[in-house]
Copies of this chain bind each other. A is one copy, B any other.
Amino acid sequence: MQEKEGYVLAPCCRSSGDLQTYRRMVEIGDKIKGLKLDRPERWKERISEEVQKLLSLKEQLGDARPQKFQLKTPKGTRDYNPRQMAIREGVFKTIINCFKRHGAETIDTPVFELKETLTGKYGEDAKLIYDLADQGGEILSLRYDLTVPFARYLAMNKINTIKRYHIAKVYRRDNPAMTRGRYREFYQCDFDIAGQYDLMIPDAECVKIVAEILSELNVGDFIIKLNTRLLLDGMFAVCGVPEDKFRTICSAVDKLDKTFWEDVRSEMVDEKGLAPEVADRIGEYVRLNGQLELVDQLMQDEQMMKNKMARQGLEEMKLLLTYCQLFGVLDKVSFDLSLARGLDYYTGVIYEAVLTTEKAQTDGGDKNEPVGVGSVAGGGRYDGLVGMFDPKGKKVPCVGVSIGIERLFSIMEAKAEAAEGKVRTTETQVYVASGQKNMLEERMKLCNLLWEGGIKTELSYKKNPKLLNQFQYAEEHGIPFLAIIGEQELKDGVVKVRNTSTREEETFPRDKLLEEIRTRVGPS
A residues touching B (Cβ–Cβ < 8 Å)?
A: 1-3, 5, 9-17, 19-20, 22-23, 27, 30, 64, 66, 69-75, 77-82, 85-86, 88-89, 100-114, 116-117, 120, 123, 130-135, 137-138, 140, 142, 152-153, 155-157, 162, 164, 169, 171, 173, 185, 193, 195-199, 201-202, 204, 208, 212, 230, 233, 243-244, 246-247, 308-309, 322-323, 326-328, 344, 347-348, 381, 383-384, 387-395, 397, 425-428, 440-441, 444-445, 447-448, 451-452, 454-458, 461-463
Instruction: Give CA–CA (A204, B48) in the complex, Å.
Output: 38
Contact B393 A12 (CB under 8 A): yes
Contact A185 B110 (CB under 8 A): yes
20 pairs, CB–CB < 8 Å, chain A vs chain B: A1-B347, A2-B397, A5-B395, A10-B387, A10-B390, A13-B387, A14-B388, A16-B123, A72-B114, A79-B107, A79-B108, A79-B157, A80-B108, A102-B457, A102-B458, A104-B426, A111-B111, A193-B461, A198-B463, A327-B447
Task: Point out the residues of chain B lying under 8 angstroms from A82, CB to CB.
Answer: 105-107, 162, 164
- Contact of A461 (CB < 8 Å), options: B1, B78, B195, B390: B195
Min CB–CB distance A34 → chain B (angstroms):
10
Task: Point out the residues of chain B lying under 8 angstroms from A162, CB to CB.
Answer: 82
- Contact of A155 (CB < 8 Å), options: B71, B204, B309: B71
A sample of 8 more A-B contacts (CB under 8 A), given A11-B393, A70-B116, A79-B156, is A17-B244, A66-B393, A79-B153, A101-B456, A102-B456, A130-B135, A197-B462, A201-B462
Contact A103 B457 (CB under 8 A): yes
Task: Point out the residues of chain B lying under 8 angstroms from A64, CB to CB.
Answer: 393
Per CB-CB distance, the 9 closest pairs between chain A and chain B, nearest first, are: A197-B461, A82-B105, A77-B110, A103-B458, A16-B247, A131-B133, A2-B397, A80-B108, A103-B428
Contact A16 B246 (CB under 8 A): yes
Contact A100 B426 (CB under 8 A): yes
Task: Point out the residues of chain B lying under 8 angstroms from A173, CB to CB.
Answer: 135, 137
- Contact of A135 (CB < 8 Å), options: B106, B107, B131, B388: B131
Contact A23 B395 (CB under 8 A): no
Instruction: Give CA–CA (A81, B157) in the complex, Å.
Output: 10
Contact A110 B78 (CB under 8 A): yes
